[in-house]
Protein backbone atom coordinates (compact mmCIF):
# COMPACT_ATOMS: atom_id res chain seq x y z
CA UNK A 1 0.00 0.00 0.00
CA UNK A 2 1.13 3.56 -0.49
CA UNK A 3 1.17 4.04 3.27
CA UNK A 4 3.77 1.37 3.82
CA UNK A 5 7.24 2.82 3.44
CA UNK A 6 8.79 -0.63 3.62
CA UNK A 7 7.39 -1.09 0.15
CA UNK A 8 9.40 1.20 -1.96
CA UNK A 9 7.58 3.88 -3.83
CA UNK A 10 6.24 2.91 -7.18
CA UNK A 11 7.21 6.21 -8.81
CA UNK A 12 10.66 4.97 -9.70
CA UNK A 13 11.82 1.66 -11.00
CA UNK A 14 9.16 -0.35 -12.77
CA UNK A 15 8.72 0.82 -16.31
CA UNK A 16 9.78 4.40 -15.56
CA UNK A 17 13.39 3.31 -15.44
CA UNK A 18 15.00 5.91 -17.67
CA UNK A 19 12.65 8.80 -17.22
CA UNK A 20 13.98 10.07 -13.89
CA UNK A 21 17.52 10.91 -15.04
CA UNK A 22 16.64 14.60 -15.26
CA UNK A 23 15.15 14.71 -11.75
CA UNK A 24 17.37 16.78 -9.46
CA UNK A 25 17.84 14.99 -6.17
CA UNK A 26 18.57 17.54 -3.45
CA UNK A 27 20.23 15.79 -0.51
CA UNK A 28 22.29 18.75 0.65
CA UNK A 29 20.38 19.38 3.89
CA UNK A 30 19.75 16.83 6.59
CA UNK A 31 16.01 17.31 6.19
CA UNK A 32 14.49 14.31 8.03
CA UNK A 33 11.39 13.83 5.88
CA UNK A 34 11.75 10.03 5.94
CA UNK A 35 9.99 10.16 9.32
CA UNK A 36 6.81 11.67 7.91
CA UNK A 37 5.44 8.35 6.78
CA UNK A 38 5.81 6.86 10.25
CA UNK A 39 4.09 9.68 12.10
CA UNK A 40 1.34 9.69 9.51
CA UNK A 41 0.67 6.07 10.42
CA UNK A 42 0.35 7.09 14.06
CA UNK A 43 -2.71 9.07 13.05
CA UNK A 44 -4.15 11.15 15.87
CA UNK A 45 -1.89 9.73 18.56
CA UNK A 46 0.38 12.76 18.44
CA UNK A 47 -2.21 15.41 17.65
CA UNK A 48 -2.60 18.29 20.09
CA UNK A 49 -5.22 21.01 20.07
CA UNK A 50 -4.46 24.41 21.60
CA UNK A 51 -7.38 26.82 22.12
CA UNK A 52 -6.67 30.48 21.45
CA UNK A 53 -6.82 31.48 25.10
CA UNK A 54 -4.24 29.00 26.25
CA UNK A 55 -0.51 29.53 26.74
CA UNK A 56 -0.63 33.27 26.32
CA UNK A 57 1.88 33.96 29.07
CA UNK A 58 5.64 34.27 28.48
CA UNK A 59 6.22 32.15 31.53
CA UNK A 60 6.09 28.39 31.93
CA UNK A 61 7.70 27.50 35.23
CA UNK A 62 8.93 30.33 37.44
CA UNK A 63 10.57 27.89 39.85
CA UNK A 64 12.85 26.46 37.20
CA UNK A 65 16.15 28.12 36.22
CA UNK A 66 14.86 27.73 32.66
CA UNK A 67 11.62 29.60 33.40
CA UNK A 68 10.27 29.36 29.84
CA UNK A 69 10.50 25.55 29.71
CA UNK A 70 7.21 23.65 29.80
CA UNK A 71 7.39 21.07 32.64
CA UNK A 72 5.64 18.47 30.47
CA UNK A 73 8.29 18.84 27.83
CA UNK A 74 11.14 18.47 30.33
CA UNK A 75 9.48 15.40 31.84
CA UNK A 76 8.93 13.77 28.46
CA UNK A 77 12.54 14.32 27.37
CA UNK A 78 13.93 12.87 30.62
CA UNK A 79 11.58 9.92 30.39
CA UNK A 80 12.80 9.16 26.87
CA UNK A 81 16.47 9.41 27.91
CA UNK A 82 15.81 7.01 30.76
CA UNK A 83 14.10 4.60 28.39
CA UNK A 84 16.83 4.71 25.74
CA UNK A 85 19.73 4.97 28.20
CA UNK A 86 21.67 7.45 26.06
CA UNK A 87 22.17 10.14 28.70
CA UNK A 88 22.50 10.44 32.46
CA UNK A 89 19.64 12.61 33.66
CA UNK A 90 20.23 12.85 37.41
CA UNK A 91 21.61 16.05 38.89
CA UNK A 92 21.25 17.92 35.65
CA UNK A 93 19.64 21.19 34.64
CA UNK A 94 17.70 21.22 31.42
CA UNK A 95 17.48 24.20 29.08
CA UNK A 96 15.11 24.18 26.12
CA UNK A 97 16.02 25.98 22.90
CA UNK A 98 14.69 26.86 19.47
CA UNK A 99 16.48 23.88 17.98
CA UNK A 100 19.84 22.84 19.29
CA UNK A 101 21.17 25.58 17.01
CA UNK A 102 19.99 28.20 19.50
CA UNK A 103 21.40 26.16 22.38
CA UNK A 104 24.77 26.07 20.67
CA UNK A 105 24.79 29.86 20.63
CA UNK A 106 23.49 29.99 24.19
CA UNK A 107 26.20 27.68 25.45
CA UNK A 108 28.94 29.65 23.67
CA UNK A 109 27.62 32.77 25.34
CA UNK A 110 27.44 31.04 28.72
CA UNK A 111 31.02 29.82 28.52
CA UNK A 112 32.61 32.97 27.16
CA UNK A 113 30.72 35.93 28.64
CA UNK A 114 33.34 36.49 31.29
CA UNK A 115 35.94 39.21 31.67
CA UNK A 116 38.20 37.71 29.00
CA UNK A 117 40.04 40.37 27.09
CA UNK A 118 40.19 38.27 23.93
CA UNK A 119 37.61 36.11 22.14
CA UNK A 120 37.80 32.46 23.20
CA UNK A 121 38.69 29.91 20.53
CA UNK A 122 36.18 27.26 19.51
CA UNK A 123 37.44 24.09 17.79
CA UNK A 124 36.14 20.73 16.63
CA UNK A 125 37.86 17.80 14.95
CA UNK A 126 37.58 17.86 11.14
CA UNK A 127 35.43 16.89 9.44
CA UNK A 128 33.09 18.96 11.65
CA UNK A 129 29.44 20.03 11.26
CA UNK A 130 29.46 22.88 8.76
CA UNK A 131 27.21 25.15 10.87
CA UNK A 132 29.66 25.46 13.79
CA UNK A 133 32.06 27.93 12.11
CA UNK A 134 29.15 29.96 10.72
CA UNK A 135 27.25 30.12 14.02
CA UNK A 136 30.37 30.86 16.04
CA UNK A 137 31.39 33.82 13.89
CA UNK A 138 28.00 35.03 12.64
CA UNK A 139 27.93 38.13 14.85
CA UNK A 140 31.72 38.63 14.84
CA UNK A 141 31.43 38.44 18.57
CA UNK A 142 34.10 39.73 20.88
CA UNK A 143 33.40 36.68 23.07
CA UNK A 144 34.33 33.75 20.87
CA UNK A 145 35.87 32.92 17.51
CA UNK A 146 36.08 29.84 15.35
CA UNK A 147 39.57 28.35 15.35
CA UNK A 148 39.01 25.33 13.11
CA UNK A 149 40.22 21.77 13.34
CA UNK A 150 40.77 20.51 16.87
CA UNK A 151 43.45 18.01 15.82
CA UNK A 152 46.84 19.35 16.80
CA UNK A 153 45.27 22.40 18.39
CA UNK A 154 47.19 23.56 21.40
CA UNK A 155 47.11 26.69 23.49
CA UNK A 156 47.68 27.91 27.01
CA UNK A 157 44.45 29.85 27.00
CA UNK A 158 41.01 28.48 27.82
CA UNK A 159 39.24 27.17 24.73
CA UNK A 160 36.11 25.25 23.74
CA UNK A 161 36.07 21.92 21.92
CA UNK A 162 32.84 20.61 20.42
CA UNK A 163 32.58 16.85 20.29
CA UNK A 164 29.89 15.57 17.93
CA UNK A 165 29.08 11.91 18.37
CA UNK A 166 28.00 10.25 16.16
CA UNK A 167 29.67 12.84 14.00
CA UNK A 168 28.07 14.94 11.31
CA UNK A 169 29.20 14.47 8.46
CA UNK A 170 31.04 11.14 8.68
CA UNK A 171 29.06 9.20 11.31
CA UNK A 172 32.10 8.34 13.40
CA UNK A 173 31.87 7.80 17.15
CA UNK A 174 33.94 10.48 18.81
CA UNK A 175 35.68 11.62 21.93
CA UNK A 176 37.58 14.79 22.58
CA UNK A 177 40.83 14.96 20.56
CA UNK A 178 42.56 17.68 22.57
CA UNK A 179 43.99 17.32 26.03
CA UNK A 180 44.74 20.78 27.37
CA UNK A 181 43.63 21.38 30.96
CA UNK A 182 42.08 24.67 29.80
CA UNK A 183 39.64 22.86 27.58
CA UNK A 184 35.89 23.17 27.99
CA UNK A 185 33.85 20.48 26.24
CA UNK A 186 30.44 20.70 24.58
CA UNK A 187 28.97 17.37 23.49
CA UNK A 188 26.57 17.62 20.56
CA UNK A 189 24.71 14.30 20.73
CA UNK A 190 22.06 15.10 18.13
CA UNK A 191 22.53 11.65 16.55
CA UNK A 192 23.07 9.58 19.68
CA UNK A 193 19.84 7.64 19.16
CA UNK A 194 19.39 3.93 18.44
CA UNK A 195 18.27 4.24 14.82
CA UNK A 196 21.73 5.63 13.95
CA UNK A 197 24.22 4.04 16.31
CA UNK A 198 24.51 1.46 19.10
CA UNK A 199 23.74 3.01 22.48
CA UNK A 200 26.77 1.89 24.47
CA UNK A 201 26.51 4.12 27.55
CA UNK A 202 24.56 6.90 29.13
CA UNK A 203 26.45 10.08 28.24
CA UNK A 204 27.64 11.68 31.45
CA UNK A 205 29.16 14.93 30.22
CA UNK A 206 29.14 18.48 31.57
CA UNK A 207 27.14 19.89 28.67
CA UNK A 208 25.19 17.80 26.14
CA UNK A 209 22.90 18.97 23.33
CA UNK A 210 19.97 17.02 21.85
CA UNK A 211 17.28 17.86 19.32
CA UNK A 212 13.86 16.76 18.08
CA UNK A 213 15.19 17.19 14.54
CA UNK A 214 17.26 14.02 14.63
CA UNK A 215 15.57 11.96 17.33
CA UNK A 216 11.92 11.90 16.21
CA UNK A 217 12.54 13.84 12.98
CA UNK A 218 10.46 16.89 13.93
CA UNK A 219 12.91 19.45 12.60
CA UNK A 220 10.17 21.98 11.87
CA UNK A 221 9.09 22.04 15.51
CA UNK A 222 12.47 23.68 16.24
CA UNK A 223 12.92 22.21 19.69
CA UNK A 224 16.23 21.16 21.21
CA UNK A 225 17.39 20.66 24.77
CA UNK A 226 20.60 20.83 26.74
CA UNK A 227 21.53 18.80 29.81
CA UNK A 228 23.93 20.77 31.94
CA UNK A 229 25.66 19.89 35.21
CA UNK A 230 26.60 23.37 36.36
CA UNK A 231 23.60 25.53 37.37
CA UNK A 232 25.59 28.69 36.62
CA UNK A 233 25.97 27.61 33.00
CA UNK A 234 22.26 26.71 32.81
CA UNK A 235 21.47 30.20 34.17
CA UNK A 236 23.61 31.96 31.59
CA UNK A 237 22.19 29.88 28.78
CA UNK A 238 18.71 30.79 29.97
CA UNK A 239 19.75 34.42 30.06
CA UNK A 240 20.95 34.26 26.46
CA UNK A 241 17.62 32.87 25.29
CA UNK A 242 15.75 35.35 27.49
CA UNK A 243 17.58 38.27 25.89
CA UNK A 244 17.51 37.02 22.32
CA UNK A 245 13.99 35.56 22.04
CA UNK A 246 12.36 35.86 25.51
CA UNK A 247 11.94 32.12 25.64
CA UNK A 248 10.96 29.30 23.31
CA UNK A 249 7.57 28.66 21.66
CA UNK A 250 5.25 26.95 24.12
CA UNK A 251 3.15 25.59 21.29
CA UNK A 252 6.20 23.83 19.96
CA UNK A 253 7.25 22.54 23.35
CA UNK A 254 3.80 21.04 23.93
CA UNK A 255 3.80 19.41 20.52
CA UNK A 256 7.29 18.02 21.22
CA UNK A 257 6.14 16.78 24.64
CA UNK A 258 3.21 14.94 23.08
CA UNK A 259 5.40 13.28 20.46
CA UNK A 260 8.01 12.21 23.02
CA UNK A 261 5.31 10.87 25.36
CA UNK A 262 3.72 8.87 22.54
CA UNK A 263 7.11 7.44 21.68
CA UNK A 264 7.88 6.37 25.27
CA UNK A 265 4.36 4.95 25.69
CA UNK A 266 5.08 2.52 22.87
CA UNK A 267 7.62 0.79 25.10
CA UNK A 268 5.13 0.39 27.83
CA UNK A 269 3.81 -3.04 26.81
CA UNK A 270 0.32 -2.48 28.13
CA UNK A 271 0.01 0.59 25.91
CA UNK A 272 1.27 -1.03 22.77
CA UNK A 273 -1.64 -3.38 22.32
CA UNK A 274 -2.31 -2.32 18.77
CA UNK A 275 0.91 -3.97 17.70
CA UNK A 276 2.10 -1.00 15.66
CA UNK A 277 5.81 -0.99 15.00
CA UNK A 278 7.59 1.05 17.63
CA UNK A 279 9.37 4.19 16.50
CA UNK A 280 12.95 3.09 17.12
CA UNK A 281 12.31 -0.28 15.45
CA UNK A 282 10.82 1.39 12.44
CA UNK A 283 13.55 4.03 12.08
CA UNK A 284 16.30 1.49 12.77
CA UNK A 285 14.93 -0.74 10.01
CA UNK A 286 14.67 2.09 7.49
CA UNK A 287 18.26 3.14 8.16
CA UNK A 288 19.47 -0.47 8.00
CA UNK A 289 17.76 -1.02 4.68
CA UNK A 290 19.03 2.26 3.24
CA UNK A 291 22.63 1.60 4.25
CA UNK A 292 22.45 -1.88 2.70
CA UNK A 293 21.12 -0.40 -0.52
CA UNK A 294 23.67 2.40 -0.57
CA UNK A 295 26.55 0.02 0.05
CA UNK A 296 25.25 -2.30 -2.66
CA UNK A 297 25.28 0.63 -5.08
CA UNK A 298 28.74 1.84 -4.09
CA UNK A 299 30.65 -1.34 -3.16
CA UNK A 300 32.65 -2.77 -6.03
CA UNK A 301 32.24 0.61 -7.64
CA UNK A 302 35.74 2.01 -8.02
CA UNK A 303 34.51 5.54 -8.38
CA UNK A 304 33.30 5.87 -4.78
CA UNK A 305 34.00 4.78 -1.24
CA UNK A 306 32.12 5.03 2.05
CA UNK A 307 33.34 4.99 5.66
CA UNK A 308 33.60 1.58 7.30
CA UNK A 309 32.17 1.05 10.77
CA UNK A 310 32.55 -1.72 13.32
CA UNK A 311 29.60 -3.21 15.16
CA UNK A 312 29.04 -2.58 18.83
CA UNK A 313 26.54 -3.84 21.34
CA UNK A 314 23.50 -1.63 21.79
CA UNK A 315 22.11 -1.76 25.32
CA UNK A 316 18.77 -0.40 24.12
CA UNK A 317 18.20 -2.86 21.28
CA UNK A 318 19.98 -5.71 23.08
CA UNK A 319 21.86 -6.55 19.92
CA UNK A 320 25.05 -5.69 18.13
CA UNK A 321 24.98 -3.59 14.98
CA UNK A 322 27.05 -1.24 12.86
CA UNK A 323 26.43 2.49 12.87
CA UNK A 324 24.02 3.53 10.11
CA UNK A 325 24.46 7.29 10.12
CA UNK A 326 22.07 10.01 9.05
CA UNK A 327 24.58 11.08 6.39
CA UNK A 328 26.71 9.27 3.84
CA UNK A 329 30.22 10.72 3.69
CA UNK A 330 30.95 9.72 0.14
CA UNK A 331 34.42 9.95 -1.36
CA UNK A 332 35.09 10.20 -5.08
CA UNK A 333 38.04 7.86 -5.58
CA UNK A 334 38.57 8.63 -9.23
CA UNK A 335 41.76 10.63 -9.72
CA UNK A 336 40.20 12.80 -12.38
CA UNK A 337 37.53 14.01 -9.93
CA UNK A 338 38.82 16.74 -7.59
CA UNK A 339 35.42 18.01 -6.59
CA UNK A 340 32.98 15.25 -5.72
CA UNK A 341 30.01 17.57 -5.08
CA UNK A 342 30.55 19.13 -8.47
CA UNK A 343 30.80 15.75 -10.15
CA UNK A 344 27.55 14.58 -8.56
CA UNK A 345 25.85 17.85 -9.46
CA UNK A 346 26.62 16.98 -13.06
CA UNK A 347 24.47 13.92 -12.47
CA UNK A 348 21.68 15.89 -10.79
CA UNK A 349 22.58 14.81 -7.25
CA UNK A 350 23.07 17.69 -4.82
CA UNK A 351 25.19 17.06 -1.73
CA UNK A 352 27.36 19.30 0.42
CA UNK A 353 31.05 19.52 -0.44
CA UNK A 354 33.64 18.26 2.04
CA UNK A 355 35.21 21.72 2.05
CA UNK A 356 32.39 23.07 4.27
CA UNK A 357 33.31 20.51 6.92
CA UNK A 358 36.99 21.50 7.11
CA UNK A 359 37.82 18.60 4.82
CA UNK A 360 38.66 17.83 1.19
CA UNK A 361 36.34 18.45 -1.79
CA UNK A 362 37.03 14.81 -2.67
CA UNK A 363 34.25 14.16 -0.15
CA UNK A 364 30.59 14.99 -0.29
CA UNK A 365 27.92 14.68 2.39
CA UNK A 366 24.62 13.18 1.32
CA UNK A 367 21.53 13.03 3.50
CA UNK A 368 20.27 9.53 4.33
CA UNK A 369 17.05 10.70 5.98
CA UNK A 370 15.13 12.24 3.09
CA UNK A 371 12.16 10.66 1.28
CA UNK A 372 12.14 7.14 -0.15
CA UNK A 373 11.57 8.61 -3.56
CA UNK A 374 14.82 10.59 -3.53
CA UNK A 375 16.76 7.80 -1.88
CA UNK A 376 15.69 5.28 -4.49
CA UNK A 377 16.84 7.52 -7.32
CA UNK A 378 20.10 8.22 -5.50
CA UNK A 379 21.11 4.57 -5.22
CA UNK A 380 20.01 3.77 -8.74
CA UNK A 381 21.98 6.69 -10.14
CA UNK A 382 25.13 5.94 -8.14
CA UNK A 383 25.05 2.31 -9.23
CA UNK A 384 24.62 3.46 -12.82
CA UNK A 385 27.67 5.72 -12.62
CA UNK A 386 29.84 2.67 -12.14
CA UNK A 387 29.89 1.73 -15.79
CA UNK A 388 29.91 5.26 -17.16
CA UNK A 389 32.98 7.16 -18.16
CA UNK A 390 33.31 10.33 -16.15
Smallest distance from ligand PMP to CB 190, Å: 4
Of 212 and 385, nearer to ligand PMP (C-beta) is 212
How far is the C-alpha of 46 from the C-alpha of 255, rounded, in Å? Answer: 8
Minimum separation from the CB atom of position 215 to ligand PMP (A) = 10
d(CA 297, CA 185): 38
DSSP notation for 152-194? T---SS-EEEEEESSPTTT----------TTEEEEEE-TT-ST
Cβ atoms of 288 and 75 within 8 Å: the answer is no
Helical H segments across the chain, by residue range: 36-41, 71-84, 99-112, 131-137, 212-215, 231-245, 250-265, 279-298, 340-345, 372-385
Q: How far is the CB of 222 from ligand PMP (least distance, A)?
A: 7
Least separation in angstroms between CB 270 and ligand PMP? 32
As measured in angstroms, the least distance from the Cβ of 168 to ligand PMP is: 4
**100/210 Cα distance (integer angstroms):** 6
Smallest gap, in angstroms, from Cβ of residue 240 to ligand PMP? 15
CB-nearer residue toward ligand PMP: 28 or 293? 28
- Rounded CA separation 336/111 (Å): 45
Which residues have C-beta within 8 Å of that of residue 366, sequence separation ≥ 6?
Answer: 27, 327, 328, 330, 349, 351, 378
Nearer to ligand PMP among residue 60 and residue 367 (C-beta): 367
Residue closest to ligand PMP, measured at CB: 99
- Between 12 and 287, CB nearer to ligand PMP: 287
Rounded Cα–Cα distance for residues 361 and 340 (Å): 6
Name the residue nearer to ligand PMP (CB basis): 210 or 343. Answer: 210
Nearest approach, Cβ of residue 16 and ligand PMP (Å): 32
**Which residues contact ligand PMP by CB under 6 A?**
30, 99-101, 129, 164, 168, 188, 190, 211, 213, 219, 224
Question: 289: which residues sit within 8 A by CB, 6+ positions away?
Answer: 6
* CA neighbor of 229 nearest in space, from 241, 220, 237: 237
Q: Output 33 or 155, the one with its CB closest to ligand PMP.
A: 33
d(CA 300, CA 19): 26
Beta carbon nearer to ligand PMP, 12 or 69: 69
Amino acid sequence: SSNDVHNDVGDVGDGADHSDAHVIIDLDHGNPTMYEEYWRQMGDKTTIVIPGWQFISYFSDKNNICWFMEPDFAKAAIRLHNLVGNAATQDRYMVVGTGSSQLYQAVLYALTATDNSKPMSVVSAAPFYSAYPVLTDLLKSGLHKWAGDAYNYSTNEPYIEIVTSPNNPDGSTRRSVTSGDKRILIHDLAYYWPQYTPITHGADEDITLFTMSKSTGHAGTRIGWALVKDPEIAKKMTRYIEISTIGVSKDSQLRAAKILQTLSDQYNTTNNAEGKERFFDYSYNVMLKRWKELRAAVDNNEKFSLPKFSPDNCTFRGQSFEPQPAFAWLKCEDESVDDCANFLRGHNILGRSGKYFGSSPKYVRISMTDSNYKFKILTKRLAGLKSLDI
